[in-house]
Amino acid sequence: MDIGAFVQENRRWLIGCAVGGLAFLIAFPVIDSIYDPTAPMRGITALASRAPREVYARGDRDALEEEQQKLVAERDRLQAMLAFERRSAFELPAGADAGSFLFQAGRKLKQNLLVAANERNIAVNEKEIAWAVPPGVEEIKRVLFGLELLDEAQRRLFAAHDAARGDDPDAVGLRSILQLRAEPQKNARQSFRGARKGAVDLADYFEQERLAFKFEADAATLTAFFEKCREPGRTLVVERVQMQQPGRVGDPVVVSGTLTGIAFKQPE
């Protein structure tokens, strides 16, 4: 398969991936500026420094309010684009033993994945369907978020395979799943902190986890999979993607990369 031709023919989803990654990068400072309680005061201080003895004009206040409204609207737009809404199946119930719950959830997920792959004659590198097993409850909660991303990714891979084979019964579809690995981020709370003294900790407002993937599929399945990543309310942000040139024209492509899920928290 000619990768250059594939890229030309599938610009739409490649652009979508790039847009998702770009939005992901700009979301942090936008949300930080909204939730930073010192932001309005900085604006007022700036006005005061220019005219310390003047009464603030209505136009200045209106301008600040209008800017705040624009920021809130941009936050809502980005949140709608990027949000991954959690479901109860992978959330630790109150009073449950965290280690046992993680074990049961992980075993059920892997069994379902292997059964679905076997039904479709898709090879799976079972050792690379993996996740960490940490000792702490908070760390286990983050791994459970990673498992939910893994579960979503495998479901969408099989759905993309079924769609490609449905359109063309002779299509290769998804040939093999080489890796689906949940990668909980270390020091997640500290990684969101701003450099400014007193800056808002964005981890209080959303959490994110990452999934590394690698699979082998034809062009139709690749296109369908990445389009399915942009499901409203359950977005898998395509953070990175690489394609390996196949050995022969017509062979499936090996594609790898990372997906990120961002779950916004309800303000307390």
Sketch out the chain's domains with CATH numbers: 3-264 (3.30.70.60)
Mean pLDDT of 150-177: 95
Please give the residue that has the higher pLDDT: either 39 or 152.
Answer: 152
pTM above 0.85, yes or no: no
User: What is residue 199's predicted lDDT score, i.e. its pLDDT?
Assistant: 58
Sign of CA dihedral 72, 74, 77, 79: negative
Q: Could you report the per-residue pLDDT of 48-70, keeping only the tens digit for each? A: 455 444 555 667 777 877 888 88
Structure tokens at 104: 């049961």
User: What is residue 147's predicted lDDT score, i.e. its pLDDT?
Assistant: 97
Q: Could you report the per-residue pLDDT of 16-43, keeping only the tens digit for each? A: 555 455 455 445 554 455 445 445 445 5
Q: What separation in angstroms does the CA of 134 have from each of 101, 144, 191, 209?
A: 13, 11, 19, 15
Of 52-56, 109-113, 183-187, give the range with the top mean pLDDT. 109-113
Residue 194 confidence (pLDDT) above 80: no
Please give the residue that has the higher pLDDT: either 6 or 87.
Answer: 87
Residue 96 confidence (pLDDT) above 70: yes
- Tell me the C-alpha distance between 207 and 184, whole Å: 11
